[in-house]
Structure 1
């Protein structure tokens, strides 16, 4: 399969090409993947492989969407338009119902709000629209005491932030992403995929597993009314993990781009977006100022997450990639997606990374990201020392 790899790498990054070729052969077969990376605002890796896959192919990003939405929130904090430590209800009064009056934006963004889903779950039609998600969440009581624990809000976190932003800015996360990030920096990530671009979308394929793997997955899956099931909407009637992975294949969801899991993009688009947060890209200055980066990339809690477990440390809106991948700096930040996508920026090395795979990763986890990111980090360090 390594002969199917297409694209380019800069001088000194051949190791990344070799590792990607091995991943394609071992993990993805004919279904394909993309890998892209920047160093100091320069594209140094742009690779893809697989039937129908090109460097411009778009696929569903699921929770990697949260990284894009967090950049929008960070820009508004940077502009002084919202304050992380003010209660959500100050901006969105309806949210105060059912014991939520004191919950702050920071608690929502760091998974400490207790608002991780809704009783009875959402229909797929409801998940297609952040405004509908927000209406359901407004009356929901938290599933744990705010501030007392951490619990990942798979589908609701950025619907809450979107409701706040709509009241402050009279605009949505989706529109602000396009106006301030996607369009000016020429980024192939879409929170709301235009109909004219939809032809570039390749559907996410279901994961492949042996009967033994499927049996083990079922045996270890949370019950349908557990806290993890609530976060991933498995408490909804007839909603399965396969439905989670296939959400991006729903045309209505792609068109609306819900800000917690509805983005569509490419590896190059993800890497460009993260590069733009820390470096000059396409002749434009970095999106985030040093103080904003410091605010959003400070570890908030290393306590185990009630939904995702011990291996999910959080910054503000972002995953703590410096704890997930110890070869990165402490303030590295990004977000992965259940299908296997991942993306991050490391301000210390001016490195950014984006990865997508067309076939969903078994069990929501794509371990090849660590291999690829490690190879990239080694190559970037050699480039710095050269």
Structure 2
């Protein structure tokens, strides 16, 4: 496999790990980028841009973008934290102060911070939305506003896999009058110079590669992980919170459909380059190439202050969340205990580590069943750690 791009001196282990992902771990097309202290030190890509070969064997190019699934949640969380930083949103206010309809069905005391930390108690919808309904922000907002919580808000946590879209999107719309996709374009992607979109513009559609499923490789020496029995049973049980949370949109949308990419679902359908994700996180923790910093140091601490920890009622395994961000732990290992970020189900990963001055982004067109700790992304994280040591 030909690996393209550059690495700064000392970061050669990342190139080696990236190449090994193709040789041993089944990557088809992928890219990884790393920033250190606001400067790019890793910029690599390889493979083919279209998983299924629909457009032939077109190579992955510099600037090829992909759907990043739940890695979008970290970008959406930044919107709410920036609104708080500007004094426009109180994290300790009831959601109903901004969105009166949300007070229904026992949710009148739900706080904004509980939406961000997966403590709102509404990870499921009693009636799942079709993909077309899910793309309608009015219908999605109405569905979660009417939904009764499955636990008392604030008393426990469970991953809001799909409902996070309408919880965050509608709150942003009520506070700002803009859609969350517009806000990201104007206030985050533009100022940071980051190639990421929520609601992909028509002009950018041709840059996005097609995605598809890959199985864990059987190659000797490959890293294979088997889910615990409780996790497997939760995903197999149609009545479990796990299946219902991931099935809040049913049937599953076609992620290669341009209409789906054009929708704005901040839980699941952001599109980004690896560099776009890494540059975004770099801009949260410092200036990038002398440009604008997005988060103040105080907001960085808010983002990574633990809000939820322990057994996750949806993911079943133990998870840790700050305000909208997954934190380093056994379910989602990042660079160090001080890291904050978000994986995307199937492979994508992006995070920042303020202590090391590192920002990381990885995207792929080969999606696995893993939700948090994809072995390809983890191999790259270990290589970054080795380079720093």
Q: TM-score, normalised by structure 2?
A: 0.89
| Equivalent of residue 23 in structure 1, options 13, 21, 24 | 21
Contact 1:225 1:235 in 2 (8 A): no
The corresponding residue for 1:372 is 380
Contact 1:62 1:338 in 2 (8 A): yes
What secondary structure, in the 3-state scheme, does the structure 1 residue paired with 2:361 have? strand
Deviations 1:261-315 (A, max 9, x none): 1101111111010001012114323100011111111011222111112342111
**Structure 2 stretches of 5 or more lacking a match?**
49-58, 219-225
- In structure 2, C-alpha distance between the alignment counterparts of 1:199 and 1:235, rounded to whole Å: 26
The corresponding residue for 1:221 is 235
* Cα RMSD for the two superposed structures: 2.3
Shift of 1:203: 1.4
Q: Which has the higher helix share?
A: 1
Asked if 1:263 is matched to 2:270, the reply is yes
| Equivalent of residue 95 in structure 1, options 91, 98, 102 | 102
Shift of 1:131: 3.1
**Structure 1 stretches of 5 or more lacking a match?**
none
The corresponding residue for 1:251 is 258
What secondary structure, in the 3-state scheme, does the structure 1 residue paired with 2:25 have? helix
- Write the mapping of 1:349-364 to structure 2, written as runs, cut at 5 A: 349-364=356-371
Question: Aligned pair in 2 of structure 1 residues 35, 311: CA closer, same or farther (>3 Å)?
Answer: farther
| Equivalent of residue 45 in structure 1, options 33, 42, 67 | 42
The corresponding residue for 2:10 is 12
Shift of 1:327: 7.1
- Write the mapping of 1:210-359 to structure 2, written as runs, cut at 5 A: 221-233=235-247, 236=250, 239=251, 243=252, 247-321=254-328, 328-359=335-366
- In structure 2, C-alpha distance between the alignment counterparts of 1:312 and 1:9, rounded to whole Å: 32
What secondary structure, in the 3-state scheme, does the structure 2 residue paired with 1:28 have? coil
What secondary structure, in the 3-state scheme, does the structure 1 residue paired with 2:6 have? strand
- In structure 1, C-alpha distance between the alignment counterparts of 2:137 and 2:328, rounded to whole Å: 27
Shift of 1:184: 2.1
- Write the mapping of 1:60-71 to structure 2, written as runs, cut at 5 A: 60-71=67-78
Shift of 1:161: 2.1
Deviations 1:4-58 (A, max 9, x none): 11111011111111111111211234x2111110000110001111022122111
- In structure 2, C-alpha distance between the alignment counterparts of 1:162 and 1:150, rounded to whole Å: 20
- In structure 1, C-alpha distance between the alignment counterparts of 2:239 and 2:137, rounded to whole Å: 23
- In structure 1, C-alpha distance between the alignment counterparts of 2:193 and 2:334, rounded to whole Å: 29
What secondary structure, in the 3-state scheme, does the structure 1 residue paired with 2:133 have? helix
Q: Which has the higher strand share?
A: 2
Contact 1:150 1:306 in 2 (8 A): yes
- In structure 2, C-alpha distance between the alignment counterparts of 1:218 and 1:181, rounded to whole Å: 38
